[in-house]
Copies of this chain bind each other. A is one copy, B any other.
Amino acid sequence: MGQQIQIQQQDFSVDAIYTAMRLEYGSDIGAIASFVGLVRDRNAVAGDGGDVQTLTLEHYPGMTEKSIQQILDHAEARWPLIATHVVHRVGTMAPSEQIVLVMVASAHRDAAFAGAQYVMDCLKTEAVFWKNEQSDLGQGWVESTNADKIRAKRWDD
């Protein structure tokens, strides 16, 4: 199984990652599910309605990679995946920029979809990142939501 994890400040090309995955695994792949998270211009912090001007992601170098590695290991143990690729940006981003990519290849669509969704759910609740929103009304750390925790819980056996 191919695993790739990138944590970086710069933007990424979904197309380059998709093309490389197809090239490497060719006709074993029957399904590729992808998810991209993007910066919205609505404020999540306290729902104060301020327009988001920038979003800053902080991480814990080393531990963050390890936390994502664990998530991918769990996903592979659970579904027959051919390749997984996660890119998560850190630093400061503007609305409509890409934040995160999860791409999962499998022989069949169920595993690809479930794997991608599982990895995203766990990125929200287990991967070591913190989000800070800067709006015209100030700045604030995004709180983890109960909805995210409940979503991640559905994968518990």
Q: Which residues of A contact B (CB under 8 A)?
A: 14-15, 18, 22, 26-42, 95-96, 107, 109-110, 112-113, 116-117, 120, 151
Contacts and interface: CB of A to CB of B under 8 A. Distances in A.
A28 B35 CA distance: 16
B35 A31 contact: yes
Count identical subunits in the complex: 2
Contacts of A32: 34-36, 38
A92 B38 CA distance: 36
A109 B30 contact: no
A110 B14 CA distance: 20
Given A15-B18, A26-B96, A29-B96, 14 more contacts: A14-B14, A18-B36, A27-B39, A27-B41, A27-B96, A28-B40, A29-B38, A29-B40, A31-B38, A33-B33, A34-B34, A35-B109, A35-B112, A113-B116
Contacts of A112: 35
A31 B37 contact: yes
A38 B106 CA distance: 10
A120 B31 CA distance: 11
